Amino acid sequence: MALKKRNPNFEQTLESLRAHSFDVAPFAGVAEGVLVSKHGAAAVLVPAKDKEASAAFAERPGALVRGEIARLLDRGYQKFIKTAKFELPATAAQLHAIHLFTEELNQVTGTIGLYNESLGTTSDLYQYDRLKGREPVQPVPARPWELGVSH
């Protein structure tokens, strides 16, 4: 006999997160958003639109800094924690906390973990300094099939 797949609703998922020592609180910035935090990292979950999952990310996991979820910025030579007010170099402890939080959250919610995410912490934004502002904007090439200046 085949096992039935259990699909909990959003409230059951939140109860499961509370049972696994996650801090769960309403999030004012997103409609129906819930701030889930643990280990100094956090994410904002909302009820999922599809039937396969119970929760979806409104804000992906990041370091929790003064009540704000900081984005992880990769500049090629170092990762940074970026908030609306400041940008600081990320410490190994912060990266480890984000990675551990993401893995635990995926396990409890039943979200599929991707291979590249299991290798380490993935960044939200990539800005390599050697490429930033390096190339000028290229003009749109002329299309020979469009009428232009007559000969």
For residue 19, name the pLDDT band (cuts at 50, 70, 90): very high
pLDDT value at residue 93: 92
pLDDT value at residue 24: 93
pLDDT in tens, 37-78: 999 999 999 988 877 778 888 888 899 988 889 988 888 778
pLDDT at 2 exceeding the cut of 90: no
pLDDT in tens, 86-144: 899 999 999 899 989 988 998 888 777 776 666 666 666 666 665 566 666 777 777 87
Distance CA 12, CA 34 (A): 13
Q: Within 13 Å, how many C-alpha atoms sit on residue 19's CB side?
A: 8
All residues at 6 or more sequence positions from 78 whose CB lies less than 8 Å from its CB, including other chains = 89, 90
> Does the pTM exceed 0.75?
no
For residue 1, name the pLDDT band (cuts at 50, 70, 90): very low
Distance CA 54, CA 109 (A): 8
Distance CA 99, CA 81 (A): 14
For residue 148, name the pLDDT band (cuts at 50, 70, 90): low
pLDDT top residue among 85 and 111: 85
